[in-house]
Amino acid sequence: MHEKGIIDMFRGTAPQIVAVLGSTIGAISDGMHYGWSAPFTPILEKEDSHIKLSHSDVTWLESIYLIGGLAGLPVTIYSVDRLGRKASILLAAVISLVAWILIAIANNVIYLYIARFAVGLSGDVAFVAAPMYIAEIADRKIRGFLSGTIYVMMLVGILVVYAVGPFAPFYTCSIIGSVFVIIQLVAFPFMPDSPYYLLQRHKPEKAKRHLERLRTTGTVDKEMEEITTAVDRQRSEKGRPQDLILNKGNRKAFIIMTVLNAAQHFSSISVMLMNLHSILKEAESEYISFEIAGIMFSAFMLIAATIADFTCDKFGRKGLLICSSLLSGVSLLVLAVYFTMKNNGYDVGGISWIPIAAVMVYAGVFKFGLGIIPIVMTAELFPAKMKAIGMTMADFAYLFFGLVSVEMYQKLIEVYYLDLPFYIFASTTLLTAIFSWLYIPETKGKTLEEIQYMLKGEPIPERKPSNYIGNGLDDTSEKDIKLTEISPNNVA
């Protein structure tokens, strides 16, 4: 996009950008919590550690984070609806701050258990409420870009904890994480609230005032009318849970999202982020320390995610999924073969650069497909009346399979060795490429109505002329997405 096009795209959006930064700066803290166990587990397992950890403690510190996320589902559903998107983000920030304090003062593993459970819960709330808030305040011309901000912030947090954790006193990351949360707690209350939520709570005058604060282009009467129509439609369109299975299109969307959410974790992303330092330490590379390799890994993830945020709409979803799954699977297979050779007594000193290269390639290729397409497709596949139910189920699947993958990894390495779980992860990731090729439709350039026809296996009607008021969209028009475009807790 040329310079003038970029300027035009962002013209008049400064209040929205400030509000989005306020709503997502806490995601840096969430990313630090998510990646916390990778650098700190090796530290806490040392003889001179102030907290003694057993192998079961390591497993629980990872699993309880995801259990907290599952426990947070009903809290999230209640909070974003009753308290609102803005209040939910602030609630998550308060919980995160308490967790950092518990970690800083911890002299027993119980403190860490409580903190990890709490931030799993708060992360679930934040990663539903913040994308929902962004989708409802953003101009459609930059909504996609702004929606990706929270995931970039999260990866910044992972980079921070990987860069600081191994080299600074134990409490340092707690201080840094707390600073980001405190900034959010101080600044975000002054940001505008979601006009959609205010209309849902029957506060039209307040909704208009907050919308005027978000827009700098003059009158907002027309947009207020559109939002009011969208909210009224949402109230009248309530999907039934059984329709997720009984309706052919909904059923296919549900299967696709369940498989993709499972595939994200069974491509090892949570295992990798939570155990990266111990995995690289076991690889015994003679070329680079595992601490530095961890920083490089998180930097690769951040760069790839930033590029993907700008470019994902330029490539087909299906093609990206297939390529990403194939390359991620090959990277994991190479890692598994290396550990098999090492475990069987082969001299791997001369090739100890291979695991470093494998995880770096994985960091880049994962984020261009498996790491971003499920987030995009969640908002595309479900019709308006099924979005809330469908996305809640997608959120549950994401957390559930994350817990299963982490538990499986820890159990297998305890009984066998690192190679077996990575053979499993490589196999499932390669199978995802086949599933994507055979079952997932290409949704790039398709209206939401056309996607529903594709999911049902019905021919797509000819599009109406572009000057038609609906422009080829069904009742789930682009402006309706603002109300319902919730991403699951998809922190990968």
DSSP 477: -
Matching residue, tokens 């593993």: 109
Q: CA-CA distances (angstroms) from residue 296 to 158, 166, 286, 331? A: 11, 14, 16, 16
Q: CA-CA distances (angstroms) from residue 59 to 41, 54, 256? A: 10, 9, 29
Helix (H, G, I), strand (E, B) or coil at 252: helix
Contact 220, 211 (CB under 8 A): yes
Contact 283, 356 (CB under 8 A): yes
- Alpha helices, DSSP H, located in 344-369: 353-367
Q: Tell me, what's the pLDDT at 11?
A: 61
pTM score above 0.85: no
Nearest residue to 285 (alpha-carbon basis) of 230, 387, 360 = 360
The pLDDT tens digits of the residues spanning 5-51 come to 555 555 667 888 888 899 999 999 999 999 998 899 888 888 888 89
Helix (H, G, I), strand (E, B) or coil at 316: coil
Q: Tell me, what's the pLDDT at 349?
A: 81
Distance CA 82, CA 401 (A): 28
* 60, two tokens: 């629980």
Question: Cα 323 from chain centroid?
Answer: 20
Q: Tell me, what's the pLDDT at 379?
A: 64
Contacts of 411 (CB under 8 A, 6+ apart): 59
Q: Count CB atoms within 10 A of the CB of residue 189.
A: 12
Question: Cα 335 from chain centroid?
Answer: 25
Q: Count CB atoms within 10 A of the CB of residue 346.
A: 11
Contacts of 431 (CB under 8 A, 6+ apart): none
Q: Tell me, what's the pLDDT at 9?
A: 56
Q: Tell me, what's the pLDDT at 484?
A: 38
Q: Which domains does the chain have, with CATH numbers?
A: 13-191 (1.20.1250.20), 241-492 (1.20.1250.20)
* Mean pLDDT of all residues belonging to the chain: 82
User: Block means of pLDDT (10 residues each) for the chain, length 492 residues?
Assistant: 53 79 93 91 86 84 90 85 88 96 93 94 88 78 72 91 92 95 95 86 83 76 77 68 80 88 92 89 84 90 80 74 93 95 86 91 88 75 72 83 92 90 95 91 70 74 49 37 40 48
Nearest residue to 471 (alpha-carbon basis) of 440, 450, 442, 492 = 450
Nearest residue to 127 (alpha-carbon basis) of 157, 159, 163 = 157
Distance CA 476, CA 237 (A): 11
Nearest residue to 94 (alpha-carbon basis) of 154, 24, 33, 181 = 181
Q: Tell me, what's the pLDDT at 384?
A: 61
Distance CA 259, CA 265 (A): 10
Q: Tell me, what's the pLDDT at 374?
A: 81
Nearest residue to 132 (alpha-carbon basis) of 491, 483, 489, 490 = 483
Q: Tell me, what's the pLDDT at 409?
A: 93
Contact 194, 222 (CB under 8 A): no
